[in-house]
């Protein structure tokens, strides 16, 4: 009887993971993003959000309860009158003008911001790269028209264009803000995909596929598309960061999510009347935006290290 090999050969570790684990920004970014995704998913479990019921007029504009550790005023505010116990975690980040817990709102804001950032980017990535792919592959008048179209869009400062799109819809809100942010990013993908396609189109393997009689659809989607994915993925991660900031900016000037939605930019807009005396209403939502954006930027850098080892940046 011949001996059969029972132990499988040790599976070789995926090259992607091997490289990714060596990239410090990548790891750091992935951890931050994972943390926020986890918080967003678990938000209803950690602390259910109830915009109407959470209003607590006894604690309007109360300072963060964690500051009771060093702040006498906060200590008195959070001392339970009957038992005399200090409730350090009653409102860890303080409360806003209606007595709503800022920590809860920031937590639920993570859901909204991640949703907007990811959906807007996906929409822009799909539309933009499809158009860029077609323009780059076929060239001719289609390419000229698309190029002109993106030149015109890129001549606007991005946020102004987004403001314009929201203004037209006359329906400020999350969905509109998301679409506006997404449209603004389309030309970026269009140009990126186009420039990469121009390089790939002339390569031998695509020419060979054409010579073997592959249809144009097959050439585009089977041979060209997989080779332009890397730069698009890297740009995608970086775009989520931009989309998150732009959506928050729209919220901040009152054209994004509307109150009482706990969107971070909208919370910052609300805080403008109170932040001089109650800075915590402004500090924590902004910190959440900064961290999320930082996470996606780091992740993008890490992915670039992995997917495009030639780039030095």
Binding site for other proteins (CB under 8 A): 25, 148, 151-152, 154-160, 163-164, 167-168, 170, 241, 245, 248-249, 252-253, 265, 268, 271-272, 275-276, 279, 282-283, 285-286, 289-290, 293-294, 297-298, 312-313
We find the least distance from the C-beta atom of residue 249 to other proteins, in angstroms, to be 6
Please compute, for residue 132, the number of CA atoms within 13 A of its CA located in the half-sphere on the CB side: 28
Between CA 272 and CA 293 the distance in angstroms is 22
Taking the least distance from each CB to other proteins, the nearer of 206 and 245 is 245
CA 230 centroid distance within chain: 18
Q: Which is nearer to other proteins, 154 or 307 (CB)?
A: 154
Q: Cβ atoms within 10 A of the Cβ of 248, count?
A: 31
Chain Cα centroid distance, residue 283: 20
Provide, rounded to whole angstroms, the least separation between the CB of residue 140 and other proteins.
Answer: 18
Smallest separation, CB 1 to other proteins (Å):
59
**Residue 281 Cβ vs other proteins, minimum distance, rounded to whole Å:** 10
Which of 178, 182, 200, 83 has the alpha carbon at shortest distance from 133?
200
Cβ at position 210, least distance to other proteins in Å: 29
Contacts of 67 by beta carbon, 8 Å cutoff, 6+ apart: 74
Select 220 or 303, whichever has its Cβ closest to other proteins.
303
- Min dist CB 37 to other proteins, Å, is 17
Name the packing angle between helices 225-252 and 174-201 (round to 10°): 150
Q: Can you say whether the dihedral through the CA atoms of 35, 16, 294, 128 is positive or negative?
A: negative
Closer CB to other proteins, residue 228 or residue 297? 297
- Asked if residues 113 and 248 have their Cβ atoms less than 8 Å apart, the reply is yes
Minimum Å gap between C-beta 176 and other proteins is 12
Q: Which two tokens stand for residue 160?
A: 């102004």
- Cβ proximity to other proteins: between 25 and 259 the closer is 25
CA distance 134 to 197: 9
Residue 201 burial by Cβ neighbours in a 10 Å radius (0-12, 13-18, 19+): buried
User: 95 or 297, CB closer to other proteins?
Assistant: 297
Question: Which residue's CB is nearer to other proteins, number 97 or number 167?
Answer: 167
| Alpha helices for 62-101 (secondary structure H) | 72-77
């Amino acid at each position: 009887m011949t001996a059969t090999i029972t132990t499988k050969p040790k599976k070789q570790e995926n090259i992607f993971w091997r490289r990714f684990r060596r990239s410090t920004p990548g790891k750091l970014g992935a951890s931050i993003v994972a943390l926020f995704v986890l918080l967003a998913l678990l938000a209803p479990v950690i602390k259910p959000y109830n915009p109407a019921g959470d209003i607590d007029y006894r604690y309007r504009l109360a300072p963060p309860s964690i500051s009771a550790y060093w702040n006498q005023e906060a200590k008195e505010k959070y001392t339970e009158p009957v038992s005399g116990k200090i409730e350090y975690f009653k409102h860890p980040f303080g409360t806003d003008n209606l007595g709503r817990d800022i920590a809860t709102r920031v937590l639920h804001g993570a859901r909204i911001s991640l949703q907007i950032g990811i959906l807007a980017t996906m929409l822009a990535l799909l539309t933009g790269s499809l158009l860029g792919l077609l323009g780059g592959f076929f060239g001719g008048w289609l390419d000229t028209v698309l190029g002109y179209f993106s030149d015109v869009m890129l001549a606007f400062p991005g946020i102004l264009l987004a403001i314009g799109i929201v203004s037209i819809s006359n329906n400020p809100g999350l969905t509109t803000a998301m679409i506006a942010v997404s449209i603004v990013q389309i030309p970026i993908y269009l140009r990126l995909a186009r420039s990469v396609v121009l390089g790939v189109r002339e390569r031998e393997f695509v020419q060979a596929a054409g010579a073997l009689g592959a249809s144009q659809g097959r050439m585009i989607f089977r041979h060209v598309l997989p080779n332009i994915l890397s730069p698009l993925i890297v740009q995608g991660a970086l775009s989520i960061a931009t989309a998150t900031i732009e959506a928050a900016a729209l919220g901040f000037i009152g054209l994004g999510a509307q109150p009482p939605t706990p969107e971070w930019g909208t919370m910052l807009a609300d805080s403008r009347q109170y932040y001089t005396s109650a800075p915590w209403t402004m500090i924590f939502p902004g910190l959440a935006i900064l961290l999320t954006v930082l996470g996606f930027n780091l992740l993008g850098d890490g992915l670039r290290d992995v997917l495009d080892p030639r780039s030095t940046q």
